[in-house]
Amino acid sequence: MPETSAVHTIDIPGLTGASAGLTGEFVLPAGEGPWPGVVLVHEAFGINDVMRRQAERFARAGYIALMPDLFTEGGARKCLNQTFRELSAGTGRSFADIESARQLLIARADCTGEVGIIGFCMGGGFALAAASLGFGAASANYGRLPKPLDESLVGACPIIGSYGGKDNSLKGAARKLDESLTRLGIDHDVKEYPEAGHSFLNDEESGPPALRFIMKRILGAGPNPEAAADAWTRIDAFFGEHLAKKS
């Protein structure tokens, strides 16, 4: 894949209800646009180098990538509980932050106007919850399912989901999501990887070192290169079909 501009932090003009001083990690593809865009939603540990590399990966694939910092107003320690409450409620500051990022991409002259969303861990839950909010495609990676499931997904864009069979926090989630999307007639691709756990798309261990052993034991958390390679192939094809081909 071609080189990209460096990932850097930018200010995101916040819509009503968004975080004060909202920022995000931004990276452009190489060459000349216009390109489709992707809003990336970070994992529960916040934006780190692992997450920045995910953004850069999308830029190399030909997307304008923007990852809003949902913890702008105080970091994970102060914002995590509130952010999860908003995820459960399906409304709040976090959703305003995500929509602010989408609107920034749409407004750019070098964006085609087609914008997808991808989330990891906590962000995967947001990708599902925001799938009916104007995005062209959504990728939920080991994301918590919204409740009530069918009602929450009515009118959703095409969805691709990837889950790990060893993730004890999301037992049966892939099957439930697949069945719901089938009932609703939404274009989708949902797959569970039996030998993978939570965070298997990460290219290295993430989160506080003191928690990694516990996360590995309970969630099977950690990189799984074989499952990740297959999941990325599916995600690239799915976004290519629903975003890039419309550009």
Over the stretch 98-155, which tens digit does the pLDDT of each residue have? 999 999 999 999 999 999 999 999 999 999 999 999 999 999 999 999 999 999 999 9
Q: How far, in Å, CA of 152 to CA of 147, rounded? A: 6
pLDDT at 1: 47
DSSP strand pairing (64-68 vs 35-41):
parallel
Q: Which residues contact 156 (CB under 8 A, 6 or more apart)?
A: 128, 131, 132, 138, 181, 184, 186
Residues of the chain under the 50 pLDDT cut: 1
Can you name the residues that pair with 161 across neighbouring β-strands?
A: 140, 190
Pair of tokens at residue 112: 């085609």
Peptide bond before residue 208 is cis, with ω within 30 degrees of 0: no
